[in-house]
Chain A
Amino acid sequence: MHYIPHTKEDVEKMLASIGVKTEDEVFAGIPSSLRRKSPLNLHEPMSEWKIIDRLKSISSEMTPSSEKTVFMGAGSYLHNIPSVVPYLVSRSEFTTAYTPYQPEVSQGTLQAIYEYQTFTANLLGMDIANASMYDGATALAEALLMSLRIKKKTSKVAVSKAVNPYYLKVVEAYFEPTEFELVYIPFDENGKTDISKIENTDDIAAFAVQSPNFFGIIEENENISKACEDKGCLFVSCFSEPFAFGLYKPAGLYGADIVCGEGQSMGIPQSFGGPGLGMFCAKEKYMRQMPGRLCGQTLDKDGKRGFVLTISTREQHIRREKATSNICSNQGLCALTSAVFMSCLGKTGLKQIAEINFNNASWLKKKLVELGFEERFKGSSIFNEFVLKAPDGFEKVWKKLSEKKIVCGLPLDKFYEGFENNYLFCVTEAFSKENMENLLENIKKEVSND
């Protein structure tokens, strides 16, 4: 196998050097009674060429978003990624390095993380960002646990039901073994979190909402912030679509204490949901309660600027069971990817592309309404996702379209009661007018066939 460089002669010399005769004797540390009874029941090593054929065949059984027929977001978004992004990120000095524990030979990774932290904090309107979490869902779970560390005397957190339901599942799994309680706050008929319900909820460390929320709606951040202040709890805001902050004010500007979410939209391919990027920001005063790695600026012996991982005493390898999290490996390369992507965007690119998302979504929504769809939540501000109630009997049409590899929004009935025939649509700058017209044409055709 060509990944193993040992020649027969090498092996013989090495065995002689360690004083054993056969290769199997290198396992002298394992008692023979504990050796595996049968050898690995695996195939013969496969050639590169055969593997490419096999993987091509497997991947061809997919419907790629790049065909522009999947009008679904819900936490994973198709955005244009300039060619320079994957090109730069695939430089093996970045990809094949470990965590930068030896800063003298990791300045590339470290400066890039520092720049990522700066981009992220600026994008979300916050003081500081960490070097990344696994994804938006785990970032939210960790943010809630962090709130409980800050508000030591509380035992509950309040979380909006308009947060991505997959994120809520993860939060539930993280909370199950703890003594803490999750309290859900419902959403109202406008698709926004019903802030008034927080008034009767006591003993909470944090109130967490998502904006844009799962329905694509911008939450009333100002009122939420005020409600949190009244309650004396932390304002935690999460997101799954950071492109929205090219247009809309991020929660940091409303005084949020922790802002976290999924950064996949920032230059990272969808890749069946991962690897993505857990973005995590907090107010500076909470720095020592943050989970994950932090990269900081310092000087070398000669007074030259350099970067290191810092405030590490929060982390598992030092504080062990008292650490702020167990996270070790994070999504470093994805953080780098998003830093490259955000460098390409710049302030102007981010704004212009965000506006195209909003324009496309507004246009498609209008056209679907003209086809007989109905707005589920009227009058609320959206970014690039929206919920529509489809004409009666649309389930069959949806299925037929899916057989034609068209995904006409995400059906919401499996998440909430009373959402039969409601669909969450998404359209981004990656879709042309023609792509959207194709969808409309296909819907028209299937509805009339039905």
Chain B
Amino acid sequence: MINDKLTGLVLDEPLLWEKGSRGRIGISIPEAEVEKAKPDKDLVWEGPDFPELSEVDVVRHFTRLSTWNFGVDTGMYPLGSCTMKYNPKLNEKTASMEGFISSHPLLPDNLCQGTLKLMYELQELLCEITGLDAFTLQPAAGAQGELCGMLVFNAFHKKNGKRRKKIIIPDTAHGTNPASCALCGFEPVGLNSGADGILHPDAVREIMDEDTAGIMITNPNTLGLFEENIKEIAEIVHEKGGLVYCDGANMNAIMGAVSMREIGVDVIHLNLHKTFSTPHGGGGPGAGPVGVIKELEEFLPVPRVEKNGDKFILNSDFPLSIGKLHAFHGNYGVLIKAYTYILSMGKDLFDVSTKAVLNANYIKENLKDVFHLPYDRPCMHECVFTDENFEEYKVSTLDIAKRLLDFGFHPPTIYFPLVVHGAIMIEPTESESKEEIDRFIEVMKQIAREAKENPDILHNAPANAKVKRLDETLAARKPKLKG
């Protein structure tokens, strides 16, 4: 039996507005050295309702809050399709170097050679890793990368004389894909994967036409399976003048194993906060660079970094560019972290993917006797189980997920992808050792036993977290979004 009594000291902490006292302050005010100016009194006000706290109050408040969180540094975080790998601390150190952190985005080129050089080199590295020809670093997250890609599709067809209306999106694609399409004015056309969990060329042939701008594929897909027919599918799409977009959120499975260019991909986005180890920050910031083939480079956002002799310059002179997606250069701080990671790994990025896939297959093989595995074939970086074996005990995926918390594991992604009922999607990443994975497997098996023998333990889980299960219905029926 693995012990589930993992509680430590959990201190309560009120909202900021419930503590503090008028007259306290938590910041040092600079000396007033110039004379006071008089603002127009009709335009000024007394200021917003902010609580007043001492520096110690602020430190204790946020330190206590932090202890209620679970991060990759707390324990294994096998959240499928999110690639919660270890975030190296070196990345944080380089990203906070004074020259980077304190640089104005509109500096003249001669005063920002460092940041431009790093952008240029990172673009080159991402080209080599994906096999594509040019990259933009501007998109601030994966979903914005998708939007960028869709805008490139749109610009491409516009240049060729006819805008197209539709985009093909498989049922195993990421949830953001249809929304990104719609934001760009495209109508998403659904494509079902086959009984084997992957896409089939005939299904694409049936719907691909000359009013369809292209296809958006997630590869490996959200079932953790490699799209074996992608090259043939790409040919079908290309034949009708369409383009192939790959959601590269799952790039961690195939670095050095597959060249996106060689399998027919025209546009890809990467999630630096997944594959390239930058921390997710409880929701962001991420970065979603977009790579394209040579023929599409002219459409990328501006400004573009170029090398001119030994100098780096920003060039905005691309008349067919889709314009700008961010006021400046995107989430630059995140780029530094990803660049640092790629320097650390170098050609061992292939080893990263190998171990990520090894870990996922190891979990799949060791749990498939206990948990229902809807697609029993070699998986890539993640594997998808369901709660089917526990239906008769009225135990659901949600209960299993919550019970994992009691053992100090973050739950996998649940109820996604939608094509699998009650999905439990596990992505261990390469960061986890065999010992840790063995412990995870043991805990999953124990939970499976509990589900049959004492399902109430699962229904009442988590027992050890800061709060019990929360009433989401109440939150949505009577929204309270502000203290």
Q: Do A and B bind each other?
A: yes
Distance (whole angstroms) from the CB of B147 to the closest CB of chain A:
6
Q: Given A6-B434, A176-B322, are A300 and B467 neighbors across the interface (CB < 8 Å)?
A: yes
In the complex, are the beta carbons of A316 and B176 less than 8 A apart? Answer: yes
In the complex, are the beta carbons of A42 and B334 less than 8 A apart? Answer: no
Kindly state the separation between the CA atoms of A296 and B470 in the bound complex, as whole angstroms: 11
Whether B421 sits at the interface, judged by CB under 8 Å, is: no
Q: Given A26-B354, A173-B322, A297-B475, are A70 and B71 neighbors across the interface (CB < 8 Å)?
A: no
* Binary per-residue interface labels of chain A (93-107) against chain B in the complex, 1 for a CB within 8 Å, 0 otherwise: 111111110111111
Question: In the assembled complex, which residues on chain B have CB atoms less than 8 Å from the CB atom of A84?
Answer: 26, 55, 58-59
Nearest CB to that of B285 among chain A residues?
A275
Whether A200 sits at the interface, judged by CB under 8 Å, is: no
Give the interface size class of chain B.
Answer: 35 or more
In the complex, are the beta carbons of A346 and B51 less than 8 A apart? Answer: yes
In the complex, are the beta carbons of B225 and A29 less than 8 A apart? Answer: yes
Nearest CB to that of B198 among chain A residues?
A29
In the complex, are the beta carbons of B70 and A349 less than 8 A apart? Answer: no
In the complex, are the beta carbons of B348 and A317 less than 8 A apart? Answer: no
Whether B340 sits at the interface, judged by CB under 8 Å, is: yes
Nearest CB to that of A429 among chain B residues?
B30
Distance (whole angstroms) from the CB of A243 to the closest CB of chain B:
11
Kindly identify which residue among B59, B68, B475 contacts A296, using a CB–CB cutoff of 8 Å: B475
Kindly identify which residue among A28, A114, A345, A355 contacts B27, using a CB–CB cutoff of 8 Å: A345
In the complex, are the beta carbons of B471 and A3 less than 8 A apart? Answer: no
Distance (whole angstroms) from the CB of A357 to the closest CB of chain B:
10
Can you list 18 A-B pairs with a CB-CB distance of less than 8 A? A46-B343, A48-B90, A55-B94, A62-B113, A70-B104, A76-B328, A88-B59, A92-B279, A93-B74, A95-B281, A104-B402, A108-B66, A111-B15, A115-B15, A294-B479, A294-B481, A328-B141, A336-B282
Whether A393 sits at the interface, judged by CB under 8 Å, is: no
Kindly identify which residue among B24, B257, B352 contacts A27, using a CB–CB cutoff of 8 Å: B257
Q: 8 Å CB contacts to B: which residues of A77-101?
A: 78, 80, 82, 84, 86, 88, 90-100
Q: 8 Å CB contacts to B: which residues of A398-450?
A: 402-403, 405, 407, 410, 429-430, 432-433, 436
Nearest CB to that of B113 among chain A residues?
A61
In the complex, are the beta carbons of B178 and A122 less than 8 A apart? Answer: no
Question: In the assembled complex, which residues on chain B have CB atoms less than 8 Å from the CB atom of A43?
Answer: 343, 346-347
In the complex, are the beta carbons of A322 and B114 less than 8 A apart? Answer: no
* Binary per-residue interface labels of chain B (442-483) against chain A in the complex, 1 for a CB within 8 Å, 0 otherwise: 000000000000000000001001111111101110011111
Whether A368 sits at the interface, judged by CB under 8 Å, is: no
Nearest CB to that of B380 among chain A residues?
A29
In the complex, are the beta carbons of B324 and A173 less than 8 A apart? Answer: yes
Kindly state the separation between the CA atoms of A15 and B352 in the bound complex, as whole angstroms: 16
Kindly state the separation between the CA atoms of A49 and B226 in the bound complex, as whole angstroms: 37
Question: In the assembled complex, which residues on chain A have CB atoms less than 8 Å from the CB atom of B141?
Answer: 134, 327-330
Known: A92-B71, A170-B327. 4 other contacts (CB 8 A): A30-B258, A46-B344, A62-B113, A293-B283
Give the contact stretch, choosing among A151-159, A190-198, A228-236, A264-272: A264-272
In the complex, are the beta carbons of A407 and B179 less than 8 A apart? Answer: no
In the complex, are the beta carbons of B69 and A218 less than 8 A apart? Answer: no
Q: Given A316-B178, A321-B182, are A363 and B37 neighbors across the interface (CB < 8 Å)?
A: yes
Whether B28 sits at the interface, judged by CB under 8 Å, is: yes
